[in-house]
Amino acid sequence: MLIHDLGVDHSGDALEVLQKQRAAWRVNQVRAMTASLPDVAAEALRDAGYTVTAPDDSSIHPDRQTWLTRY
């Protein structure tokens, strides 16, 4: 936006670097949200046709309401 709309000076490869970093950021966000909300991630994958099986690990905390609503 700053480059296109406001004409901010930039290096020749700035748009390519921004594109790569944006993709990396989005992947990291998916990983973070999947770790925080595994049940939601599993539901989304099932909705997309994937087969998802929950682990037998009791360390998974299905109730994330406190985390979701905290400031």
Domain range list for the chain? 14-46
Q: pTM of the entire structure?
A: 0.68
Phi-psi bin for 50: left (phi > 0), alpha (psi -120 to 50), beta? beta
pLDDT band at 61 (very low <50, low <70, confident <90, very high): low
Query: What is the distance in angstroms between the CA of the first residue and the CA of the last residue of the chain?
Result: 29
pLDDT in tens, 26-44: 999 999 999 888 888 999 9
The continuous run of DSSP H or E covering 68 comes out as helix 65-69
User: Which run of H or of E encompasses 2?
Assistant: helix 2-6
